[in-house]
Amino acid sequence: METTLCCGGSLMSSISRWSSAISFLILIVLTAVGEGTSPKQFTMPGETCGYIVDNGDQFKVVSQQIQLGDEPEQTSYLANVSCTITFRTQRGKRNFLRLSSFEVETSRFCSRDGLYLYDGGREATDKLLSANKHALCGTTLSLPNYFVSTGHEVTLKFVTDGSNNSFRGFTVLITPFAENEDCDGFICHMTKRCITKEASCNKEYQCEDGSDEPPNCHLRNAGFRPSSTWCSWPLLLSSCFMVACQWMLTGTRPIP
Ligand SMILES: *[C@@H]1O[C@H](CO)[C@@H](O)[C@H](O)[C@H]1NC(C)=O
Ligand SMILES: *[C@@H]1O[C@H](CO)[C@@H](O)[C@H](O)[C@H]1NC(C)=O
């Protein structure tokens, strides 16, 4: 007489033949939900000054830094810069901007050095995203350090003068998002904004609440997604595996 296991005796006898196919399937599932990717990076100034960058799903904009002396943190941005780049995503989407680092020379109205963030595809003072309606400068940012465009375009402009540029500059993350119900990317927990799945677990915070970088990223990068239906399949298959292994090791044994 055979012992009957949870997955059914007849299935068990053929499962060893399937096991290589199933492990291949698991491999596919695990790689399909892999790690997010870093946003495409643009430097200011750089080759893209004056251009429109179209249809990206996430961008990272940094000030070009030059090394001053031996200390790695002693850097300077370039003098006499005026660089403008417009970032455009698909119509219907909007852009979430987050300043992840910021140190620009302080001056009255930021008239010496400053970063201008415009809502839309052109430079216009009434389109500045900053509440004070001038450029951003300084060494600390008053919160919030994030901005949201009303449409699918944002324009960034970085301006510096010729003197004292020994500052660490800035890093701005631009992440397009949609607000519709069906999302094939990642949904930020608090705002319910739908961002690209590449933005999740890529070590950059691209949701206001940081929910795109949860503490269990190492598990998610290994293929486990607690909030996703994908999760149940690898778990179900691997538990069937364990049962099959147990069955093969013990074989058939008479019931006393
Ligand atoms: C920046 O511009 C000023 C005024 O035109 C000039 O005097 C200075 O040499 C320039 N600095 C650099 C590093 O090009
Ligand atoms: C540049 O600015 C910093 C910070 O405001 C200041 O500490 C430093 O002395 C300035 N350097 C020069 C050469 O003006």
Number of other residues whose CB lies within 10 A of the CB of residue 40: 13
Interatomic CA distance for residues 83 and 47, integer angstroms: 10
The residue whose CA has the least distance to atom 2 of ligand 1 is 162
pTM score, whole prediction: 0.74
Domain count, the chain: 2
Distance 161 CA to ligand 1 centre (A): 8
pLDDT recorded at residue 133:
87
Bigger pLDDT: 45 vs 27: 45
**Same domain assignment for residues 131 and 197:** yes
Q: What is the DSSP letter of 180?
A: S
**Same domain assignment for residues 50 and 146:** yes
pLDDT recorded at residue 68:
87
**Same domain assignment for residues 81 and 186:** yes
Confidence class of residue 79 from pLDDT cuts 50, 70 and 90?
very high
**Same domain assignment for residues 28 and 119:** no
Q: What is the pLDDT of residues 219-248, one digit of tens each?
A: 766 766 555 545 445 555 655 565 565 555
Distance 141 CA to ligand 2 centre (A): 19
Give the number of the atom of ligand 2 that is nearest the alpha carbon of residue 166. 1
Give the closest ligand to the alpha carbon of residue 80: 1
Interatomic CA distance for residues 7 and 61, integer angstroms: 53
**Same domain assignment for residues 233 and 192:** no
Confidence class of residue 26 from pLDDT cuts 50, 70 and 90?
very low
Confidence class of residue 139 from pLDDT cuts 50, 70 and 90?
confident
Does the beta carbon of 55 lie inside 6 Å of ligand 2?
no
Q: What is the pLDDT of residues 119-131, one digit of tens each?
A: 999 999 999 999 8
Per the structure, the complete domain to which residue 104 belongs is given by 40-214
Q: Does 175 map to a domain? A: yes
